Amino acid sequence: MTQTEFLNIVLPFKDKVFRLAKRLLVSREEAEDATQEVLLKLWNNKLKIAEYKNLEAFSMTMTKNYCFDKLKSKQAQNLKIVHSNYEEKHTPLQKQVEFNDSVSWVAKIIAELPEQQKMIIQLRDIEDYDFDEISKMLDMSNTAVRVALSRARKTIREKLTNTHNYGVR
């Protein structure tokens, strides 16, 4: 398999891998590293790529596992004080301050969700995967995905309603 062939296979979902990694790892640099790592792993196993039934789902699972490993090792190293997660600088929405505020508020709310709910919101509401795919990627049952999704959505809505009503930040 040549590089261009590989890139053509990978191209449709590399952004999704990146966004999932970023959702979990927060910082852009970390997410880029994770994506790179995942793609390199795929490249090194390129002879087996034809064997995978659903390469995209497989890659997403790989990304999830890689990010969990990263998070775990970070916790073990006690790096929390250092805060290796960097703030994103280039948000393309700096025109409207208020709008920017409420949208970044959503980002904050999602960041506070448990990892699993974070991933499900990412996969469902941002990447538009169907429930079967998500349950395959995360190795969960279909109903468990639905329940977690419903909880996450309700939490987001509640917190948004609160901020909307009281302007509490």
Partner 1 sequence: MVLDNIEKLLEKYENGETSLKEEQQLKHYFTQGTVAPHLEMYKPMFEYFLVNKQERFTKDVPLKTKRNFNYKWISVAAVAVLMLGFYFGTSIYGSDLGTYEDPQLAFNEFSKSMEMISEKFNTGASTVSYLNEVNKGTSTLGYLNEIENATSIIFKN
Can you give the binding site for partner 1, defined by CB under 8 A? 3, 6-7, 14-15, 17-19, 22, 32, 35-36, 39-40, 43, 92-93, 99, 102-103, 105-107, 110, 125-128, 130, 145-147, 149-150, 153-154, 156-157, 160-161, 163-164
Q: How many Cβ atoms sit within 10 Å of the Cβ of residue 10?
A: 18
Tell me the three state secondary structure of residue 92.
coil
User: Nearest distance from residue 114's CB to partner 1, in Å?
Assistant: 16
User: Nearest distance from residue 33's CB to partner 1, in Å?
Assistant: 9
Give the residue among 169, 120, 163 at the shortest CA–CA distance from 145. Answer: 120
User: Nearest distance from residue 6's CB to partner 1, in Å?
Assistant: 7
User: Nearest distance from residue 15's CB to partner 1, in Å?
Assistant: 5
| Cβ-based neighbours of 167, under 8 Å, separated by 6 or more | none
- Burial call 78-88: b when 16+ CB within 10 Å, e when fewer: eeeeeeebeee
Give the residue among 111, 89, 105, 125 at the shortest CA–CA distance from 16. Answer: 125
User: Nearest distance from residue 81's CB to partner 1, in Å?
Assistant: 28
Toward partner 1, which CB reaches closer, 77 or 143? 143
Give the residue among 99, 102, 112 at the shortest CA–CA distance from 163. Answer: 102
Give the residue among 158, 160, 120 at the shortest CA–CA distance from 142. Answer: 120
Toward partner 1, which CB reaches closer, 57 or 145? 145
Toward partner 1, which CB reaches closer, 80 or 111? 111
Toward partner 1, which CB reaches closer, 115 or 130? 130
Toward partner 1, which CB reaches closer, 72 or 157? 157
Distance CA 15, CA 162 (A): 33
